[in-house]
């Protein structure tokens, strides 16, 4: 199972590299990526069918693999080099706050995944603005 997840992540990174050479419009790629990611994570939270959950997580890993090279290119183009470390650290504060809130509460696994799907949906809305 782990090997399939890693393979899906690697395939996503390769697909992202190909997509960026064919269609360099990052906003379109990011919007599609966040939309697919939200759908896959929502399917993974269904919990009733193991096969649907597994395919949802495979799709999620594919999107995660596509996310990192795409965002790396975007960040290098937008964030100036001399302030990059400070800006990245500022973005880590809300991320760590979300993690602490999730860990301190006694949420079920399905609830955590639903919250993550909601946060990815917020990311989708942010890319469409």
- H/E run at residue 79: none
- Name which of 49, 62, 51 is nearest 12 in CA terms: 62
* CA dist., res. 105 & res. 87, Å (int): 29
This prediction has a pTM of 0.77
Summary mean pLDDT of the chain? 84
| 4-45 per-position pLDDT tens digit | 999 999 999 998 888 777 766 766 777 777 788 888 877 777
In terms of DSSP H, where are the helices of 48-108? 50-78, 84-104
Q: Which residue carries 């193991």 as its tokens? A: 50
**Reduced 3-state DSSP string for 23-38:** CCCHHHHHHHHHHHHH
Mean pLDDT (whole number) for 99-107: 87
- Return the C-alpha torsion angle 62, 69, 30, 7, nearest 10: 0
Domain extent listing, the chain: 2-128
């Amino acid at each position: 199972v782990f090997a399939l997840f890693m393979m899906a992540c690697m395939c996503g990174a390769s697909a992202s590299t190909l997509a960026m050479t064919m269609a360099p419009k990052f906003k379109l790629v990011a919007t599609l990526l966040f939309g697919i990611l939200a759908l896959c994570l929502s399917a993974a939270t269904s919990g009733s069918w193991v096969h649907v959950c597994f395919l949802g997580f495979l799709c999620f890993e594919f999107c995660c693999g596509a996310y990192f090279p795409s965002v790396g290119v975007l960040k290098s183009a937008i964030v100036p080099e001399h302030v990059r470390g400070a800006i990245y650290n500022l973005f880590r504060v809300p991320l760590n706050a979300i993690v602490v809130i999730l860990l301190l509460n006694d949420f079920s696994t399905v609830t955590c995944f639903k919250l993550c799907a909601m946060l990815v949906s917020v990311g989708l809305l942010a890319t469409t603005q």
